[in-house]
Amino acid sequence: MLSMNPLEKRRQFAGLCLAVGLVIEALCLLWATPIAFVLFVAIGGSLMFLGLVLYLTSLVNTGRSDRRPEW
């Protein structure tokens, strides 16, 4: 179940992308064919990249929301 908090939701979505990307990469490693290489790079790699970017963005946004006003 996705959280109601937008930051947590983004982090969960990042986690989903990473987990699915990792599972695809694991399956491709077990399946030694040229198409597995393509899937590893294209699908697994893209999902991992998306997950990492989303996670890092959520970290940056958390930092911003935690910052106290200067005055």
Partner 1 sequence: MLHATTLIVSLIVFSAVVIAVLVVRPAITATRGGKILAFVAMFCLPIFCGLLGFSREMGRAKTTAFCLSCHTMEAYGKSLLVDDPTHIPAGHFQNHRVPPDEACYSCHTQYAMFGGLKVKLYGLKHVAIYYFGTPPAPENIKLYEPYNNRECLHCHLGARSFEDGVVHNADPATLPAIKSNQLSCISSGCHEIAHDLAHLKDAKFWKEGK
Give 63 or 69: the residue with its C-beta nearer to partner 1: 63
Q: Does 43 bind partner 1 (CB under 8 A)?
A: no
Contacts of partner 1 in 7-36 (CB under 8 A)? 8, 11-12, 14-16, 18-19, 21-23, 25-26, 28-30, 32-36
Q: Which residues contact 39 (CB under 8 A, 6 or more apart)?
A: 24, 28
Q: Does 6 bind partner 1 (CB under 8 A)?
A: no
Q: Which string of DSSP letters, residue by residue, matches the chain?
A: ---SSHHHHHHHHHHHHHHHHHHHHHHHHHS-SHHHHHHIIIIIHHHHHHHHHHHHHHHHHHHHHHPPP--
Task: Please give the residue ranges that form the binding site for partner 1 (CB under 8 A).
Answer: 3, 8, 11-12, 14-16, 18-19, 21-23, 25-26, 28-30, 32-38, 40-41, 44-45, 48, 51-52, 55-56, 59
